[in-house]
């Protein structure tokens, strides 16, 4: 979220980003952070209620009051439903098809949570001033849940600040980098490892991130696979200098999706590394450095060979209009002004 504020500042926009969280939560501290003096909610319902009440009370006291309040959607939240019912300027921002996301988590309480979400989500969406989705697929889902007149809608993809440092290229052979903070089922790591076991191609797969014991055992079955654990930013940067291809999420269909828009794809492209994945992203059809291959090893290797002669800067600059936070904030701000300034006239 700091990237968003820095992008807005660079554009000279009247835009304030706030990250609101309970005290005691680990994570970076920066100028967009606002802490509420309650413990981290965890699984304590009483603390969760206290946090949500103070969260919305803080928003009610914002001075000056914003013309438009972009608010990250919180799943099955009765306080959000009540808050938007008393405000005419709230635009909810959605990062998931919430019902499918709840189902994909495998939580035993998921059916109850989905039932609450269906009811509360519709109540909320019927009173918002606008709806933002990080992909068109997510936006279409949210629009379909609203039964009243349709408000302004926007697609605001994930992005990151794209710097202009020299990009080192230390590729040798075909190296795939698969990086994740968690290799959940929808990442498709196991699917890729099984596909690789059935293929004799000359390729190295670097797996970066925490692994379960079963995943480590599966990696150990193939000498071409290097499970590297969690790497720091410097180590990860050095790894990507050697990467031919970055592997993105391969099985978002397990979350009921055909399209996704992950930050990891943006990280790969900002480092000049082309990407293969199992889903559509928000890139135009003619964008040359993102390919939907799924776990087809032949298709992945063909892409890697095709991209072998493309330098890092070419990849980064081709991706910049689609991933740079400055461009994305500029675009969204212009669309918000067009939608809500005209509504006030």
> Is the CB of residue 143 less than 8 Å from the CB of residue 165?
no
CA distances from 202 to 178, 189, 257 (A): 17, 19, 32
In this structure, are strands 275-277 and 290-292 parallel, antiparallel, or unpaired? parallel
Enumerate the domain spans of the chain: 2-16+66-160+325-344, 175-323
CATH of 175-323, one of 3.40.50.2000, 3.90.220.20, 3.30.750.24, 3.40.50.10470: 3.40.50.2000
**Which residues are 35's β-sheet partners?**
21
Residues 236, 246: Cα–Cα separation, whole Å: 12
Dihedral, CA atoms, 330, 135, 127, 333, nearest 10 degrees? 0
Please report the pLDDT score of residue 40 as a whole number.
Answer: 67
The model's pTM is: 0.90
- pLDDT tens profile 137-196: 999 999 999 877 899 999 999 999 998 888 999 999 999 999 999 999 999 999 999 999
Please report the pLDDT score of residue 42 as a whole number.
Answer: 63
Please report the pLDDT score of residue 328 as a whole number.
Answer: 98
Q: Which of 29, 67, 13 is nearest to 328 (CA)?
A: 13
DSSP string, 294-318: TT-HHHHHHHHHHHTTS-HHHHHHH
Please report the pLDDT score of residue 45 as a whole number.
Answer: 83
Residues 70, 91: Cα–Cα separation, whole Å: 5
- Which residue in this structure is represented by tokens 């892409």? 303
Please report the pLDDT score of residue 219 as a whole number.
Answer: 98
Q: CB atoms < 10 A from the CB of 181, how many?
A: 12
- Which residue in this structure is represented by tokens 């609450």? 116
Please state the rounded mean pLDDT for residues 316-335: 97
- Could you tell me where the beta strands, DSSP code E, fall in the chain? 19-22, 33-36, 69-72, 90-94, 130-133, 153-155, 175-179, 204-208, 225-229, 245-247, 275-277, 290-292
- Which residue in this structure is represented by tokens 């291809």? 245
Q: Which of 59, 70, 57, 56 is nearest to 17 (CA)?
A: 70
Q: Does residue 64 have a cis peptide bond before it, meaning omega lies within 30 degrees of 0?
A: yes
- pLDDT tens profile 223-243: 999 999 999 999 999 999 999
DSSP string, 194-227: HHHHT-----EEEEES---HHHHHHHHT-TTEEE
Q: CB atoms < 10 A from the CB of 26, how many?
A: 6
In degrees and rounded to multiples of 5, residue 288 shows phi and psi of: -85, -10
- pLDDT tens profile 40-95: 666 578 888 988 999 999 999 998 899 999 999 999 999 999 999 999 999 999 99
- Record the tokens describing residue 44, joined without a space: 């304590």
pLDDT classification of 202: cutoffs 50, 70, 90: very high
């Amino acid at each position: 979220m700091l990237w968003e504020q820095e992008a807005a500042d660079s554009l000279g926009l009247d835009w304030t980003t706030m990250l609101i969280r309970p005290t005691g939560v680990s994570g970076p501290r920066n100028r967009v952070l606002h802490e509420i003096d309650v413990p981290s909610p965890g699984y304590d319902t009483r603390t969760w209620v206290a946090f949500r009440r103070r969260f919305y009370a803080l928003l009610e006291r914002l001075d000056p009051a914003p013309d438009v309040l972009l608010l990250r959607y919180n799943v099955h939240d009765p306080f959000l439903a009540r808050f938007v019912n008393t405000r005419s300027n709230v635009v909810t921002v959605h990062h998931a098809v919430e019902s499918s996301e709840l189902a994909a988590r495998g939580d035993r309480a998921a059916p109850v949570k989905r039932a609450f979400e269906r009811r509360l989500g519709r109540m909320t969406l019927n009173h918002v001033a606008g709806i933002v989705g990080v992909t068109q697929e997510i936006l279409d889902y949210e629009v379909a849940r609203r039964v009243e007149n349709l408000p302004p809608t926007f697609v605001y993809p994930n992005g990151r600040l794209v710097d202009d440092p020299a990009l080192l290229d230390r590729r040798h052979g075909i190296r795939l980098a698969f990086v994740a903070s968690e290799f959940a089922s929808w990442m498709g790591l196991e699917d890729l490892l099984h596909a690789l076991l059935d293929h004799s191609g000359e390729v190295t797969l670097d797996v970066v991130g925490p692994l379960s014991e079963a995943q480590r055992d599966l990696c150990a079955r193939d000498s071409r696979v290097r499970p590297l654990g969690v790497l720091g930013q410097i180590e990860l940067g050095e790894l990507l200098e050697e990467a031919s291809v970055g592997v993105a999420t391969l099985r978002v269909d397990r979350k009921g999706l055909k399209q996704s828009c992950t930050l990891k794809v943006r990280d790969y492209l900002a480092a000049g590394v082309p990407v293969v994945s199992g889903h559509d992203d928000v890139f135009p059809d003619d964008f040359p450095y993102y390919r939907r291959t799924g776990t087809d090893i032949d298709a992945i290797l063909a892409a890697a060979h095709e991209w072998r002669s493309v330098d890092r800067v070419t990849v980064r600059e081709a991706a910049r209009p689609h991933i740079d936070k400055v461009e994305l904030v500029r675009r969204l701000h212009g669309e918000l002004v067009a939608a809500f300034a005209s509504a006030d006239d």
